[in-house]
């Protein structure tokens, strides 16, 4: 299963529409957390999700596709799940600024994380294997994630 999340602050129709089209030509289950909108053929779509259901989808996913939000990236790493991030772009009115481009650039190349700078790069990541993050590199990572989650009230 592929779980697609766009976070809770803003919708990301460019990503959601692309993944809904991708799902129509693939047999793999695709679950979308859309931020807004619904009724995407070939996908399960949810405007928002309670944290327990969000966690279940994250846990069950073969790969997570997400905006380049640090919360989604940390959650994927905590679950040892591979993630493909697509940065939102200010010039497309997807966010207030381009901090997600900076986040993606800083994290690109790390184990378990791939950056799709353009949507047409997604199939190369989705159709093949992606190695999970290497948790052993940072033994205190889970403690850090727990503290950040507590701080932000997740």
Question: Could you report the per-residue pLDDT of 17-54, keeping only the tens digit for each?
Answer: 999 999 999 999 999 998 775 556 778 888 888 999 99
Contact present, 73 and 66 (Cβ < 8 Å): yes
Judged against a pLDDT cut of 90, whether residue 87 lies above it is answered with: yes
CA distance 136 to 44: 34
List the strands of the sheet with 44-46, edge to edge.
Answer: 44-46, 30-33, 2-5, 63-67, 83-86, 113-115
> Which pTM value belongs to this model?
0.82
CA distance 5 to 80: 17
- Structural domains of the chain, with CATH: 2-152 (3.40.50.2000)
pLDDT-based confidence at residue 151 (cuts at 50, 70, 90)? confident
pLDDT-based confidence at residue 136 (cuts at 50, 70, 90)? very low
**Average pLDDT value for residue range 67-77:** 90
Q: What is the rounded average pLDDT for all residues in the chain?
A: 85
pLDDT-based confidence at residue 84 (cuts at 50, 70, 90)? very high
Supply the DSSP string of 3-72, one letter for each residue.
EEE--SSS--HHHHHHHHHHHHT--S-EEEE-SS----TTSEEES---HHHHHHHHHH-SEEEEES-HHH
Judged against a pLDDT cut of 80, whether residue 117 lies above it is answered with: yes
pLDDT of 147: 80
């Amino acid at each position: 299963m592929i779980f697609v999340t766009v976070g809770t602050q803003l919708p990301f129709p460019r990503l959601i529409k692309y993944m809904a089209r991708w799902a129509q030509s693939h047999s793999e289950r695709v679950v979308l957390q859309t931020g807004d909108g619904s009724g995407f053929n070939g996908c399960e779509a949810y405007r928002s999700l309670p944290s327990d259901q969000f966690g279940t989808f994250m846990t069950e996913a073969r790969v997570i596709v997400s905006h380049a939000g640090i919360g989604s990236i940390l959650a994927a790493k905590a679950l040892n799940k591979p993630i493909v991030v697509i940065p939102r772009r200010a010039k497309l009115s997807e966010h207030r600024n381009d901090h997600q481009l900076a986040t993606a650039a800083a994290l690109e190349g790390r184990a378990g994380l791939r950056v799709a700078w353009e949507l047409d790069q997604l199939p190369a990541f989705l159709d093949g294997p992606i190695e999970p993050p290497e948790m052993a590199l940072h033994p205190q990572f889970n403690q850090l994630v727990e503290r950040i989650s507590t701080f932000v009230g997740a």
